[in-house]
Amino acid sequence: MKNADHSPTNTLQQQDEILQVLYWLRGEGLGNVVSLAELNRFLTMKQSDLSEAIQRLIENGLLKTTPHDDDTFRVSLTEAGVAEGQRRFKDEFENYLGHESHMVCDDPNCDCHEPDFAGVCSHLLDQPRQQQL
Report yes or no on whether pTM surpasses 0.95.
no
Looking at the structure, tell me whether residues 93 and 125 fall in a common domain: no
Scored b (16 or more CB within 10 A) or e, 81-120 reads bbbbbbebbbeeeeeeeeebbbbbbeeeeeebeeeeebeb
Residues 93 and 118 in one domain: no
Q: In which domain, by residue range, is 111 found?
A: 104-133
Is pLDDT at 133 greater than 70 in this prediction? no
Judged against a pLDDT cut of 60, whether residue 42 lies above it is answered with yes
Rounded distance between C-alpha atoms, residue 112 and residue 90, angstroms: 14
**Number of domains forming the structure of the chain:** 2
Same domain, 79 and 118: no
107, pLDDT greater than 50: yes
Looking at the structure, tell me whether residues 28 and 83 fall in a common domain.
yes
Distances (CA, A) of 45 to 3, 23, 54: 15, 18, 12
**Mean pLDDT in residue range 107-124:** 71
**Averaged pLDDT for residues 87-111:** 69
